[in-house]
Structures are given as C-alpha cells and as structure tokens.
C-alpha cells in the first residue's frame, strides 16, 4: 500500500520472518541506493538459525522489531474495538424536555442532524427518544403530533462509562437490543451518545444488521439465509480488533436471535403452546463462547406436558441446521425428549446428579451445568441457579467437577516444543479448543461451583470465584490472559480457513504460526497446566 514499515541497514536481513513463519512475504523490499545483497538458500538459513548463535540473532531481531512496533503503535490509533468509547463521540448530546410534543422533537432531531434526544427527568433519571421510537411508536400508531415525548420515549436509558472499550459497548447494545447508548463520565455527567454506526459503520456485515435482518425474517428459510452470513460478520469483527472473547459473545447473540425468531415462526404455524416454557442454551452457547465451528446444545423447561413442545423444538433444530449450525452429535437438543422436561423435573434431576457420589452425576450435570435462558415466559433460570448455589454442600460433586478440569492436558512437550496430534486426520496439529480453551472453562466451572457462584461466562466465573476467595488473583489474571490469547489464535485460524473456502475447525498447525505466536501459545498452555496442578494439589487429587 506504499506504507514504509521498516528501514534496514548494513548487516541486517530481510525475509527471515517469512522463512520462520512459513508464510508468503507480506511486504516489498526496495533499495534506496546501490546495494549489495546476499541471497541465502532457505535450508542454509534454517540450519544457521537453529544454532545457539542463530537463536540469539533471532531474539535480538525480535527485540528490535518489537521496539519499532511499540513506537509505531504510539503514533497509530488502536483498532475501534480497543478504543475507549468516549473517544468515538462526535458531539455533545442534544437534550429535550419530557413535555415537548413529538412533532417539535422530530424537528429538533432533523435540525441538529441527530438520531436521538436525551430527556432529563425530574427524578434524576435519563430518558431517550430515538428516530426508531418515532417510527414505531408514533408514526406506526398514528399518534397525535402533539403527544408529549414522555409517552413514547424509553423512560430509563442504559448508560455506559466513557472509559469502557468499544467492544464491550457493542455487546451491551446487542444484549439490550438498542442502537444508542448515552456515555457518562465518572461523575455521571452525560458526554454524548454513541450509536451502532459509530462502533461498526454502515453495512450488511455488522452484528446489528445481522440481528435486525434475522428478527425481520418472514419464514424459516429467510432466518437460515441470514444466519449463514454469520462467518462474514465474524471476519469483520476479527479484522476490526474486537476482543476475541467478545466475538464469541456476538456469535451467541446471533444464534439467540435466530432461535427466538424460529420459535416465534413455529408458534405462528402451530399455535400458542398450552403451558409456559423456557428455551435453555447449554454448554458453550450458555457461556456465550461460540466460534465459527459450533453446534447446537439446548433444552426446554416447561410448565405442562413436554411432548406438546416437540413440534417447536424440531422446527428450531431444523432451522438452525439450515443456517449452518449443525445438530449436536450427542443429541443434546430440545428435540430429544430427555432434554424436554418440566421445570420441576429439571430441578429434581439437578439435585439428584449433585447428590450422586460417583462420577456419573457430575458427568451428566457438567453437560447441562452451563445453562442460560434464551427466551420464554417460564422463569426457569432462578430455580436452577438455586440448586447450583448449593454446590459447596456436596464435596464429592466438587471433586468430580475438578477431575473433569484435569482430564485433558495442555499439549506441552517434555523439553520445549508443543505436542501435536501424532496420527490420524489431524496429525501435526493442536486441538486448541479441547487442549486449551475447554480446560480453562472447566477450571472456571470447578472454582465457581466451590464458591457457590452461578455466573455463566468463563471470565465472569473466574472473577466471581476470586471475589469469593476460591481462587487467588494471580491465577485468575493468568487464566484470563491465557483464555483470551487462545481464543485469538482459534478465531484467526478459523477466519483464515473461511477465507480460503475451507470449513472452520479447531486444529491449529503450530508450524504455520510465527515464532512470537508459538511462544505465546506455549506460555498460555503453561499457565493452564499450572492452574490444573494447583487445583489438584489443593483437593488432593
């Protein structure tokens, strides 16, 4: 692109990083003056760099490069996802009194060229009126233009602090289903309003556009067609520098939106269910930690006859499958009668599994111990939380959960290299999901259960467990950093495969990674291994 990324002098080399990383050159080298260069064959360079002196040369070069990168980063703005949301504000907020007629408020929005007005209330709370409110609550209902805005505004706006990262704010918007969020300073003063376009721009491949399109889909085929755009949205997020763990949350939000729409379409076709119900996401879907390669894991809790919901469950499973989310190989889906129970039966099963002395109960419960209510009028989650909060009373259950966190081992070799799959279809690769990410999730679940914590996401569990004294601050911080790094490597691998027209998977070839990434992987796996060893020692396992 014509950008100068480095300048080399006498005695320095180029092409080394492409050689070490086994990747094509990503830059063009030009001589500023008459220059004599020596072309060193790859096999000779590799032999030299493998020596002690060669390794020292590489380390020194890495340090020089890192220093140059640090200087460059000081000058360059970070990716949008890593910027404080306060830095994205374009102007001060435009405010309006709650008694102003909607016609006058609309004229003010047009005059100021804004898509929202903030409405300070007498009780100190902050309302918000958006252009969408005017369309759906005024125009669509044919309300009188003199209607005061207090009757159509959102009475209490969700606010975000100015120092929150843009990636976190994106998740807040998706979670609350809004497109505008007031930004406040530490004193609570409103600085402005951030919009979805401030965070992601305008286009089809944003989480907001995808969620909106899914919610508007007229039939199951349309839902599936929109959901199949999810890989492009993930590619956009990864390219924008969005926190990799946040990307996993966005994937879950998209699948949640598709699930809700498919349920609504099924009810429209089959009629209202005869009893209240709750659709539960399980496993990684419950933790909102899904990547491009994910399958279905869900259940139903109902307030009546479970078989009456079979048709709805089957339509949701088929719709998600058509949208690129395959069926669970173990059949952990609401279409299976074993995963479609009354809420009372679910509570009894949770209690029975927790009380079991042997491994069977913990194995069963670990499958569904990660649960989250996606939608439905039956308030099921608090009843299940009440059971899980009593986990500290069941020492055998806690030990079995800990054993599950120790079952898999990180792929660390005896000396310094990474252990790869020795044979089979994935020979020479590392299963980064099961040999890294899942172990951290299992450790977080075990520590959270010891503390009686009912948080759902891995990082939330680790933080809550630390607050409860079940895990020390250093271990929590190390696991959190390792988890994020493993997620980043996983997502970049999956995005690269998607771009190449290959199905995403979790099998990373370490020889295709650069030396810095390989070193980071080794350290992340060491962190996981240390945390496993500490848990085993503490519980005497």
Return the closest-CA partner of residue 198 out of 67, 36, 342, 88.
88
pTM, full prediction: 0.75
Give the per-residue pLDDT at 430. Answer: 94
pLDDT tens sequence across 80-103: 555 788 888 989 999 999 999 999
Give the per-residue pLDDT at 90. Answer: 86
433 vs 72, 288, 366, 408, 527, CA distance in Å? 33, 15, 17, 11, 15
Distance, C-alpha 105 to centroid of its chain = 37
pLDDT tens sequence across 331-342: 999 999 999 999
Give the per-residue pLDDT at 74. Answer: 46
Q: Which domains does the chain have, with CATH numbers?
A: 16-76 (no CATH), 85-166+176-199 (3.10.580.10), 207-379 (3.30.460.10), 396-539 (1.20.120)
pLDDT tens sequence across 170-181: 888 888 888 999
DSSP type of residue 306: G
- 412 backbone dihedrals φ, ψ, rounded to 5°: -100, 130
Between 4 and 411, whose confidence is greater? 411
pLDDT category of residue 365 using cuts at 50, 70 and 90: low
- 258 backbone dihedrals φ, ψ, rounded to 5°: -65, -40
Q: 59 burial class (0-12, 13-18, 19+ CB within 10 angstroms)? A: exposed
């Amino acid at each position: 692109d014509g950008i100068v990324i480095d300048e080399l002098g006498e005695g320095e080399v180029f092409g080394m990083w492409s050689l070490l990383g086994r990747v094509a050159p990503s830059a063009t080298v030009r001589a500023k003056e008459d220059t004599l260069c020596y072309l060193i064959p790859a096999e000779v360079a590799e032999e030299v760099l493998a020596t002690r002196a060669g390794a020292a040369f590489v380390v020194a070069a890495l340090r020089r490069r890192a220093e140059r990168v640090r200087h460059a980063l000081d000058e360059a703005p970070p990716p949008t996802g890593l910027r404080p949301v306060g830095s994205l504000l374009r102007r001060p907020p435009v405010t309006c009194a709650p008694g102003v007629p909607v016609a006058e408020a609309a004229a003010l929005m047009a005059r100021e060229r804004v898509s929202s007005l903030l409405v300070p209330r007498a009780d100190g709370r902050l309302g918000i009126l958006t252009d969408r409110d005017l369309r759906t609550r005024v125009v669509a209902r044919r309300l009188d233009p003199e209607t005061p805005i207090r009757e159509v505004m959102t009475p209490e706006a969700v606010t975000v602090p100015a120092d929150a990262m843009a990636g976190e704010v994106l998740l807040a918007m998706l979670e609350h289903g809004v497109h505008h969020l007031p930004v406040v300073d530490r004193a609570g003063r409103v600085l402005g309003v951030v919009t979805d376009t401030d965070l992601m721009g305008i286009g089809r491949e944003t989480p907001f556009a995808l969620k909106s399109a899914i919610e508007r889909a007229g039939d199951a085929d349309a839902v599936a067609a929109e959901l199949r755009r999810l890989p492009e949205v993930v590619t956009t997020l990864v390219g924008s520098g969005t926190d990799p763990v946040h990307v996993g949350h966005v994937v879950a939000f998209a699948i949640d939106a598709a699930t809700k729409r498919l349920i609504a379409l099924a009810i429209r076709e089959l009629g209202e269910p005869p009893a209240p119900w709750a659709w539960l996401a399980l496993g990684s879907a419950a933790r909102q930690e899904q990547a491009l390669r994910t399958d279905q894991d869900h259940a139903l809790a109902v307030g009546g006859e479970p078989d009456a919901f079979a048709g709805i469950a089957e339509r949701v499973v088929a719709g998600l499958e058509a949208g690129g989310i395959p069926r669970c190989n173990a059949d952990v889906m609401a279409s299976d009668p074993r995963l479609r129970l009354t809420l009372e039966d679910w509570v009894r099963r949770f209690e029975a599994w927790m009380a079991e002395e042997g491994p069977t109960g913990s194995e069963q419960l670990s499958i569904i111990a990660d649960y989250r209510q996606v939608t439905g009028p039956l308030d099921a989650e608090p009843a299940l939380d009440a059971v899980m909060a009593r986990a500290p009373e069941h020492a055998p259950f806690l030990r079995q959960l800990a054993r599950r966190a120790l079952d898999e081992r990180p792929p660390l070799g005896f000396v310094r290299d990474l252990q790869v799959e020795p044979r089979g279809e994935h020979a020479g690769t590392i299963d980064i999901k099961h040999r890294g990410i899942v172990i951290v999730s299992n450790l977080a679940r075990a520590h959270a259960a010891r503390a009686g914590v009912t948080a759902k996401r891995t990082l939330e569990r680790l933080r809550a467990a630390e607050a409860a004294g079940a895990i020390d601050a250093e271990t929590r911080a190390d696991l959190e950093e390792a988890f994020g790094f493993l997620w980043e490597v996983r997502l970049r691998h999956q995005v690269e495969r998607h771009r190449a027209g290959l199905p995403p998977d979790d099998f990373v070839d370490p020889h295709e990674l650069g030396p810095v990434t390989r070193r980071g992987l080794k350290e992340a796996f060491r962190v996981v291994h240390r945390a496993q060893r500490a848990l085993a020692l503490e519980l005497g396992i």
